[in-house]
Structure 1
Amino acid sequence: MSSQVLRFADWTSPVPPVRREVLSALPETAEDNPPVLFVPGLGHGAWAFAEHWLGHTASRGFAAHSVSPRANGSLRAYVHDVVQVAAGLPRQAVLVGHGAGALVVAHALARYPARAAVLAAPVPEGWSALGAALRANPLGTLPALIGAAPRLSRKQLFSAELAEADAYRAKLERTPAAIYRQVLFATPPAAPVGDPPTLVVGSPDDRVVPRKALDRTAARFGGAPLLFPGMAHDLMLDTNWREPIDAILDWLTKELAG
């Protein structure tokens, strides 16, 4: 395992230290459950899970945490931060990544022996991601073809009936083009350490992640995606946010019992 966890770049070019933003919600009574670490995607911060999922997860008996991406970082640095935060938790953690955060989690699994993992609306790698974005939001995606970062539209991220959509979109931070390119053309993640159970969840109506991409990602982990029709890309902020997180926690409870 040491050959996977320790890598050449870690000591020849270490990731600079940074003060990480971690938001947490703890259950009222101590439970014999692993902590859950939520990892947001590009443009989002820990706040995106603090809106609903952190508190709900704590109410189900799991200590819940979310880590924000470091400013002006890199995909490698974000993976490093997730591994460091997870390693600092008192028990072996469950990693839950959303969007590009799911890609970060997939890479972190090769370095951290997670208890389990969930990839929510995981963005595909390579040109398939760019093609899907061009079809859904051509004007916002065209800048990516000339080296700039894309601009995701309101309808790509949120359901039409979500009253808070404009307020949430105002919280999004512009992703540097360099980081977007790193995500878009990331190398496939190495095999997870310890082969943790992994669940893929998403929506067939997601305007960022195509249904075929969900199928491919789930097949990589030997299963099929758990789908929530009618929901937009930002599952954790949707009007029906309870459905996916309850399904995730139900799955996790069964995995822990097994």
Structure 2
Amino acid sequence: MKVLRAREWAFPIAPVRREVRRATPEVDEGKPPVLFVPGFGHGAWVFAEHWLEHTADRGFPAYAVSLRGHGDSAKAPKATLRAYAHDVAQVAASLPRRAVIVGHGAGALVAAHALARYPARAAVLLSPVFGGAGTALRNPMLSLPALFGGGLRLPAGQLFSRELPTSASRGYAARLGRASTRAQWQLLRGRAPQPPVGDPPVLVVGSPDDRIVSDTALRRVARGYGGAPLLFPGMGHDLMLDTRWREPIDAILDWLEKSA
């Protein structure tokens, strides 16, 4: 099983301070830790809002990392997808047991790249944005600013269902940041991740009503991992913050109890 590669030694990623939020069960049941990876512009707080404590209540140690340049992690204006994947692999390797990696949005692509170097117990790709022509966004206008060095546009109306109160959706959207310009370009180029090491089970989760990721793109990513997506109709792109946030996380944890 090849995890370390020559490039990692020849061109090491610079270390940074990383924000990691956590919630642990009252009793250690021996379940694998779950590491949540937010998408571009999002920080660990998006999982700390609901999913971390809920995951811990189900007996899974729960962690969420802010990629460099996101949340309260150190600034990194020139970060690459490789650097983001390095952050995920490093945090996962620091956990007490072999981890499950859950990546959201473009963080699902970052997680997929991390899986090529970290032998995860299992993985979940949530509303995955894999970029490139092969995974078209439902609304291409969102990506136009990134072509000119601006940030990927993530308005509240594109991220959440109409069930979420406007005050909440706008409040969440106001907390979003942006990924580095270089990482955005790499996302738009859409370099496919290498196969995961150790052949872990991979679940793809999303919504057919996601206004950022098309249903076709969601199913294409799932087929690439040998399965079909688990769908939650009526929910938005940011399932972990939407009104019905309990439904997807409970389904994910049910799957982990059977598969991981």
| Aligned residue pairs, count | 250
Paired letter, 2:29: E
Q: State the partner residue of 1:195.
A: 199
TM-score for the superposition, normalised by structure 2: 0.92
Whether contact under 8 Å (1:141, 1:152) holds in the other structure is no
State the match for 2:226 in structure 1.
222
Match of 1:239 among 220, 240, 243: 243
Q: Please, what is the CA RMSD of the aligned residues?
A: 1.4
Pick the aligned partner of 1:16 from 14, 17, 25.
14
Q: CA deviation at 1:132?
A: 2.7
TM-score normalised by L of structure 1: 0.93
Instruction: Report deviation, 1:130.
Output: 5.5
Structure 1 match to 2:73:
none
* Alignment pair present for 1:122 and 2:124: no
* Bigger mean CA offset, 171-180 vs 245-254: 171-180
Distance 2:93 2:198 in 1: 15
User: Which region of structure 1 is more displaced relative to structure 2, 66-75 or 142-151?
Assistant: 142-151
1:159 aligns with 2:161: yes
Matched residues in 2 for 1:34 and 1:141: separation? 36
1:233 to partner: Cα distance: 0.2
Q: Which moved more, 1:71-80 or 1:59-68?
A: 71-80
Cα distance in 2, alignment partners of residues 34 and 77 from structure 1: 25
1:38 is displaced (CA, Å) by 0.3
Helix, strand or coil at the partner of 2:208: coil
Q: Which of 121, 141, 144 pairs up with 1:142?
A: 144
- The corresponding residue for 1:55 is 53
Instruction: List aligned pairs for 1:69-84, cutoff 5 A.
Output: 69-71=67-69, 72=76, 73-84=79-90
Aligned pair in 2 of structure 1 residues 141, 82: CA closer, same or farther (>3 Å)?
A: closer
Give me the whole-angstrom Cα distance separating, in 2, the residues matched to 1:150 and 1:112: 28
Does the 8 A contact of 1:39 with 1:66 survive in 2?
A: yes
* Mean CA deviation greater in 125-134 or 172-181: 125-134
Task: Kindly provide the amino acid, as one letter, of the partner of residue 156 in structure 1.
Answer: Q
Q: Which amino acid aligns with 2:144?
A: L
Equivalent-residue separation in structure 2 for 1:51 and 1:5 (angstroms): 33
Partners of 1:176 and 1:19 lie apart in 2 by 16
Q: Structure 1 vs Structure 2: percent identity of aligned residues?
A: 63
CA distance in 2, matches of 1:227, 1:205: 9
Conserved? CA contact 2:136–2:217, under 8 Å: no
Distance 2:138 2:130 in 1: 9
Q: Deviations over 1:121-177 (max 9, x none)?
A: 00132035555332xxx3x44323434332122111112231211111111013332
- Tell me if the contact between 2:80 and 2:180 (Cα under 8 Å) persists in the aligned partners: no
Query: Within 2, Cα distance between the matches of 1:81 and 1:63?
Result: 19
Letter of the structure 2 residue corresponding to residue 115 of structure 1: R
Which ranges in structure 1 are unaligned for 5 or more consecutive residues? Answer: none
What amino acid does structure 1 have at the position aligned with 2:219?
D
Specify which structure has the higher proportion of helix.
1
Q: Secondary structure at the match of 2:219?
A: helix
Tell whether the 8 Å contact from 1:36 to 1:62 is kept in structure 2 after alignment.
yes
Classify 1:14/1:235 alpha carbon distance in 2 versus 1 (closer, same or farther; 3 Å): same
Instruction: Describe the SS at the equivalent of 1:49.
Output: helix
C-alpha deviation, 1:253, in angstroms: 0.5
Contact 2:130 2:187 in 1 (8 A): no
Please give the secondary structure, in 2, of the residue aligned with 1:235: coil
